[in-house]
Amino acid sequence: MAVWFISGCSSGFGDQIARQALARGDKVVATARNAAKLSELKKLGALTLSLDITSPDDVIQKVAKEAIDAYGSIDYLINNAGYILEAAVEEASDAEIRAQFSTNVFGHAAVIRAVLPYMRAVKKGVVANLGSIAGWHSDAGYGYYSASKMALVGITEALCQEEAHLGIQAVMIDPGYFRTNFLGSDAKIQSKNIIDDLRPAMDPVRDMLVKVNRNQPGDPVKGAAVIIEALTLTGRASGKKLPLRLALGSDAVKVIADVQARQAKELKEWADIVKTTDHED
């Protein structure tokens, strides 16, 4: 029986992973900024705790210890909390940019630091950071959100190498568009400043997201099932090795393949020139 520690459980993937882990007979520590919003998960048997991942380290460490005091260990850490800052690069204020990184990067790093000592003590565990296809490429209006996900890739890749000899794995999960409320008002914040000169680039993005919201191709129930199978290496994932980056959704597979093809083409096109920079000795 495994123990799952999950942030951002009030909706979306956090909620679904918690429900399905409980249905497996596992223990779940479900967190959200306000634990009162997790009443359904509590009825299903989850330990529900309030956790704002932008809190000081000692507050986050206290919540992690509550989980350990309750269940003795944490086998799977799911860093799921986060939001999108919708803004052109020039439009966003310093405060808005810092807030985006405070949640999407620094908050996850703080939770990782709070949980890892317990995983190291038993020499096992999996850290799963929820990324996005935005961590593979950036679009107009989402540069800072993409940057936050790209930063999390670097942390995940380093963590994977640093803790592997201790039996701890790390993975970045990159969903495409799933039919959650992530594009809704709770998880998407628009910058206060809007620059009229940038409307030709920004208005199509805003219009597209209005049309996409609640019409995304991905089913979060099916997505959560794949995540659980992948992290536990059971079911359809039996016999596989957990990858550094796990794409999620048919659209994610296509977008990532297109990005990799473009990058390979550009690298090949410029290789003969850029390789001439080496010393000749």
Q: What pLDDT does residue 124 have?
A: 97
More confident residue, 58 or 188: 58
More confident residue, 30 or 281: 30
Q: Which of 192, 149, 157, 197 is nearest to 174 (CA)?
A: 149
Give the residue-averaged pLDDT of 5-34: 96
Active site residue 145: yes
- Whether the per-residue pLDDT at 185 is higher than 70: the answer is no
**Angle value at C-alpha 57, between 54 and 59, nearest 5 degrees:** 80
pLDDT band at 18 (very low <50, low <70, confident <90, very high): very high
- Whether the per-residue pLDDT at 184 is higher than 80: the answer is no
Q: What pLDDT, in 10s, does the model give residues 203-261?
A: 888 877 777 777 787 899 999 999 999 999 999 999 999 999 999 999 999 999 999 99
What pTM was computed for the model? Answer: 0.94
- Whether the per-residue pLDDT at 180 is higher than 80: the answer is no
**Rounded distance between C-alpha atoms, residue 179 and residue 186, angstroms:** 14
What percent of the chain clears pLDDT 90, i.e. is strictly above it?
Answer: 87
pLDDT band at 177 (very low <50, low <70, confident <90, very high): confident
Helix (H, G, I), strand (E, B) or coil at 256: helix
Q: What pLDDT, in 10s, does the model give residues 31-80?
A: 999 999 999 999 999 999 999 999 999 999 999 999 999 999 999 999 99
Helical packing angle, 220-232 and 12-23, nearest 10°: 60
- 3-class SS string, 192-217: CCCCHHHHHHHHHHHHHHHHHCCCCC
Q: What pLDDT, in 10s, does the model give residues 86-119?
A: 999 999 999 999 999 999 999 999 999 999 999 9
Q: What pLDDT, in 10s, does the model give residues 131-157?
A: 999 999 999 999 999 999 999 999 999
Catalytic-role residue among 71, 144, 145, 177? 145
**Rounded distance between C-alpha atoms, residue 25 and residue 226, angstroms:** 17
Q: What pLDDT does residue 188 have?
A: 77
Q: What pLDDT does residue 146 have?
A: 97
Cβ neighbours of residue 92 under 8 Å, at least 6 residues apart? 85, 100, 144, 191, 193
Q: What pLDDT does residue 209 have?
A: 73
